[in-house]
Amino acid sequence: MLEGHQPNFECGGTMKVLQIYKDYYPPVKGGIEKHVNLLSNGLRSRWIEVEVLVSNTSRRMEMDCCEGINVYKVPQLGRLSSAPLNFSMPFWIRKLASNADILHFHFPNPTAEFSYLVSGLKKKVVVTYHSDIVRQVYLKELYAPFMRNFLKKANVIIVTSPQYYQTSKVLCKYKDKCAIIPLGIDLNNFNNNFDRLSRTVHLRRKHGERLVLFVGRSRYYKGLHVLMEAMQKIDAKLLVVGADHNDEQVINSLGPHGLPANVEVLGELNDETLADYFHACDVFVLPSVERSEAFGIVQLEAMACGKPVVSTELGTGTSFVNAHEKTGLVIPPNNPDALAEAVNHLLCNPDICEQYGEGGISRVKQFFSLEQMVDQTVALYLKIQNGGASFLHYQPSIECPFGRMEEGANRAGRRVATDLLGKVCGERSR
């Protein structure tokens, strides 16, 4: 909760925010989908009215009420290079935006961004820039003029890490309107207790005493093929969560003899069971190979459970989350030997695993909590609503101490939010 002031919007109205992305969790399990869910519920707990606009998986228009939040699902004809084909999206953006104070887009989502441009709306716009468009080269070239126009119209662009802020060839043109707000997770979902401890013991008896965990959807950039090759040199069981035996990336990662004996593909798990597996594993791996892996929120979930992480250096937020030799190890991408060496080093040194695990818990609590993310976002909304620009704007250096930078951002966010909440309520009561 914001310090020093309780944001009671009942004194004159409620701030209304429309969150816009391709999909929503549930049912779609993905890092951005989960982030939109957590952010929406966090904003609702701060007395902000939230609605969500996404694409449906069918040609029907539907509205679901998910945890008290209206989720509008626009009819979809299909997808082109992962971009939804929604010819009615401009109509629904215009309709739902009419009652919204702020439109919060989650980029990239070409269909929604183009729909906003053709809608003729003039609203306050926040964009969370989750990732560059990496693989879809032809779509990127076609969409580039519209993307530039859309980002130019945004009031503020939220970037999730200083690394992405510094290395994105797109963001370098808009640095005067960027604000860095890292993604956060709800730590309560990963607490250990007696019941979870007993389930963890059961999982280790079931799968083995040396467990390596991979969690991710079937995507080209996840590096599952690199991990499969590395497992030939690792004396442990690999558990693959989020993909199943029929997924293209799993099939393509297999050698001529099929699934290795020390690899088990579990498919999708519910959130509680997934947290059990995080607690049961010895090492968590995120062997991604492309900049499409812009943050790696699953690393936070593993760190919250006290597990060391092995990730790759991509010039993105993955190395911002996993601090090398503090919460885990960071290695070059597309290198099975380096991956095997890092995992084996951790498996053979339980003291180091414990040290990195404790460092991970501390880092998540200090820098990546849901409360901090929501506090900073609320303060940003209020600043924009009152005619300000990006109050969190600064030119961060990748080399600068993250703690100092982030603590300053937290103080700034809470101070501005406190001042503005009082101002907003005062003006509305007159």
**Do residues 196 and 299 share a domain?**
yes
332 and 197, same domain (yes or no): yes
Q: Are residues 322 and 223 in the same domain?
A: yes
Instruction: Tell which wins on pLDDT, 195 or 5.
Output: 195
Residue pointed to by tokens 């209020």:
382
The pLDDT of 89-114, averaged and rounded, is: 96
User: Is 150 a domain residue?
Assistant: yes
Note the pLDDT of residue 301: 98
Q: Which residue has the higher pLDDT, 78 or 154?
A: 154
Bond prior to 260 in cis (omega within 30° of 0): no
Check if the beta carbon of residue 100 is closer than 8 Å to that of residue 125.
no
Q: Which residue would you say has higher pLDDT here, 418 or 93?
A: 93
Domain span at residue 388 reads 9-184+369-429
Give the pLDDT of residue 198: 96
State residue 133's pLDDT score.
Answer: 87
**What is the three-class DSSP state of 90?**
helix
pLDDT of residue 257: 60
Give pLDDT tens digits for 234-279. Answer: 999 999 999 776 766 676 777 666 788 899 999 999 999 999 999 9
Residue-wise pLDDT for 64-73, tens only, equals: 999 999 999 9
Which of 316, 351, 367 represents a domain boundary (last residue)? 367
**Considering its fold, how many domains does the chain have in total?**
2
Q: Is 220 part of a structural domain of the chain?
A: yes
Give me the phi and psi of 26, to 5 degrees please: -75, 160
Domain boundary residue, one of 317, 332, 367: 367
CATH number of the domain bearing residue 210: 3.40.50.2000
Q: Verify that 113 and 81 share a domain, yes or no.
A: yes
* 3 or 353, greater pLDDT: 353
Q: Judge whether residue 107 has pLDDT over 90.
A: yes
pLDDT digits (tens, 9 = 90+) for 47-66: 999 999 999 988 999 999 99
| 105-114 average pLDDT score | 96
Q: Sorting pLDDT into bands at 50, 70 and 90, what band is 21?
A: very high
Same domain, 86 and 209: no
Model pTM? Answer: 0.86
- Give the per-residue pLDDT at 388: 65
- 198-212, 249-263, 265-279, 388-402: segment of lowest average pLDDT: 388-402
What integer pLDDT is reported at residue 398 of this predicted model? 32
- Residue pointed to by tokens 């939010």: 417
In a domain, 53, yes or no: yes
Q: Are residues 298 and 260 in the same domain?
A: yes
Q: Is residue 99 part of a domain?
A: yes
Average pLDDT, the chain: 87
- Tell whether 55 is covered by a domain: yes
Contacts of 20 (CB under 8 A, 6+ apart): 52, 53, 54, 93, 103, 104, 105, 106, 109, 112
What is the pLDDT, as a whole number, of residue 11? 36
Q: Does residue 135 have a pLDDT over 90?
A: no
Percent of the chain's residues with pLDDT above 70: 84
Structure tokens of 272?
Answer: 């509680």
Same domain, 267 and 414: no
**Which one, of 123, 68, 131, 136, lies nearest residue 93 by Cα?**
123
